[in-house]
A = this chain, B = another copy of it.
Amino acid sequence: MTYQPPVRDFTFLLRDVLKIERYANLPAFADASIETVEAVLEEAGRICSEVLAPLNRVGDKEGCQWSPDFTVSTPTGFKAAYAQFVEGGWPGLGADPAFGGQGLPAVVNLAVSEMSSAANMAFAMYPGLTHGAYSAINNGGSPEQKQLYLPKLASGQWSGTMNLTEPHAGTDLGLLRTKAVPQGDGSYKISGQKIFISAGEHDLTENIVHLVLARIEGAPAGTKGISLFIVPKFLPDADGNPGARNAVKCLSLEEKMGIHGNATCVISHEEATGWLVGEENRGLPAMFVMMNEARIGVAVQGLAQAEAAYQEAAAYAKDRLQGRSLTGPKNPDGPADPIIVHPDVRRMLMEAKAIIEGGRALLLWTALHGDLAKGAADEPTRQKGEDYMALLTPVLKAFLTDRGFLIASDAMQVHGGAGFTEAVAASQHLRDSRIALIYEGANGVQALDLVGRKLAANGGRAVMTFFADIDAYVAAHDGDTVLKPFLEGLAQAKGELQEATMWLMQNGLANPDNAGAASTDYLHLFALTGLAFAWAQVAEAAQARIAAGETDPYYANKLITGRYYLTRVLPESGSRLAKLKAGAELMMTLPAEAF
């Protein structure tokens, strides 16, 4: 089947739930009227479903090919599709107009990312990483670096990568050994091997801009001695065009379970020429700008694969005839009923729908706060935006990828035996979605970031604001009969999350292992509460439409799906709380040799 871009859902969220037209006074939103945004999303949806989606299976089957001359070719059709993508201006949608971008808000850019990632995740990673490189240089680069690189990255003429991981240094970047030797002319010679470099080499663009973490000779050990460098594949000449070939090359491609259409490279820097971005030994904070953005991007991938897999499963469930409804034939003239009549098939589809639609709402809500962090007129709104982005980034990354993978698995299950064959798309969605739990910080690292860093930051300001906002929302809608179940579910979940937060404060200080032991359950409890908050706002907006006389079942269906979330997904919150309160003791007692 063809991927159906969920433009209607985006438009409803942006217009009715987030009411982005309120922000027309802010620069990023000045040209973002609902009509404009809808047109942009329609057009993006078209290229995603018509150009990128048909190449998804091709990319999976063919993969990328490495040649002994250290070049890599992408799957059939990727090059032409990329040219079309660039032609349409999609890489620069959210980039600064000063560098040739269209300057649209992140909340719109993120909707486009969901569609490209659902249509073809492996393809979408190429521009996705470029966007991260753009942000890192935009935040930390010199004016000259910005002038040289940002227009090429914004247009998609050049692409970007993140060169972080080394064989012995993954999560623990403090161990990295790639070294940088100053040349006295402002440049450095970079030497070392990097692994798992997505989009590290390919034939889509005339140049590739690697952002590389390395240690300047004599720098302190650990994370405080790491600097960030720009290492382009071709050194820009005086006119900014690709000149001499730099000594950075792809030694091989990883053979992976999924995302075969994206080249995952072993990259060797052999005295490659590079330039420092920002200050010496401040590479890690600079890289985190890129990383945090990438984390939201990975959350989007989790959601996108869930959506793509769900669409396939729903289509199959409406088409496949097998068995009869428990309440009597629904397709009496056919040999059997479509399997969507069976409650257990519905269970999988409804759960997917409830998490996807609630997750999308929370993701856009958070992205909007990101836009406000940068562009709001007043400091309190900017600060709150920043707080929420920091707090919710790990939550969204881990929850949406964990659940995205489970939804892809349920989508395979709906297909029965056919789902396990490569004749349908279910296997690819399951395999592609799996990487998102690992890269850009494994989900356990996200959970530690949440409990160890984000909760405590600024005396707990972000999480306390979050609780206060929920309390205020519940109080403001007191007495609303339609919203009642939503408010009750939200209040209950928020109570459990608050209890868990208190438990963490009391027990995490006494023994840090308690915080580590609780982290994943806490993160999921946080996300479940976040989705309950998002669903309440979605229900409010849908109900407003219905009250205004709107008869389109889209709105009534939102209320049903939201209530499904409350009764069939949210109850997990209680068991998450019970588990995390069990503490670290039993988890940590066994000696290593008992495993």
Point out residues on A near B: beta carbons under 8 Å.
Answer: 165, 168-172, 175, 195-196, 254-258, 314, 317-318, 321-323, 326-327, 335-336, 338, 340, 342-350, 353, 405, 409, 412-413, 416-417, 419-423, 427, 430-431, 434-435, 437-439, 442-444, 447-448, 511-513, 515-517, 519-520, 553, 557, 560-561, 563-564, 567-568, 571-575, 578-579, 582, 584, 586-592, 594-595
Contact = CB atoms under 8 A, between A and B. Distances in A.
A430 B587 contact: no
Contacts of A592: 318, 338, 340
Given A338-B592, A422-B256, A584 B170 contact: no
Please name the 4 residue pairs, one residue from A and one from B, whose CB atoms are nearest each other, closest first.
Answer: A343-B516, A326-B512, A567-B582, A344-B444
Contact of A442 (B416, B568, B572, B584): B416
A294 to B, nearest CB: 14
A483 B267 CA distance: 56
Contact of A571 (B350, B575, B584, B589): B575
Contacts of A434: 409, 412, 420, 430
Given A340-B595, A434-B420, A586-B350, A444 B318 contact: no
A444 B413 contact: yes
Nearest to A259: B420
17 contacts: A171-B322, A172-B321, A172-B336, A195-B417, A255-B423, A257-B421, A257-B431, A326-B513, A340-B595, A343-B519, A344-B519, A347-B587, A348-B444, A413-B437, A573-B575, A574-B574, A574-B575
A488 to B, nearest CB: 14
Contacts of A405: 409
Max count, chain B CB within 10 A of own CB: residue among A421, A574, A590: A590
B438 A344 contact: no
A431 B416 CA distance: 15
Contact of A511 (B327, B349, B582): B327
Given A444-B345, A511-B327, A170 B420 contact: no
A417 B344 contact: no
Given A165-B417, A344-B520, A419-B438, A572 B575 contact: yes
Contact of A417 (B323, B438, B567): B438
Contacts of A345: 444
A171 B517 contact: no
Given A175-B336, A568-B587, A571-B578, A257 B595 contact: no
A139 B198 CA distance: 56
B512 A327 contact: yes
A254 B421 contact: yes
Given A343-B517, A413-B438, A564 B578 contact: no
Contacts of A564: 586-587
A587 B569 CA distance: 12
A347 to B, nearest CB: 6
A171 B327 contact: no
Contacts of A342: 444, 516
A346 B417 contact: no
A196 B421 CA distance: 9
A568 B561 contact: no
A175 B335 CA distance: 7
B561 A590 contact: yes
A314 B595 contact: yes
A436 to B, nearest CB: 10
Given A350-B586, A409-B434, A438-B413, A594 B557 contact: yes
Nearest to A169: B322
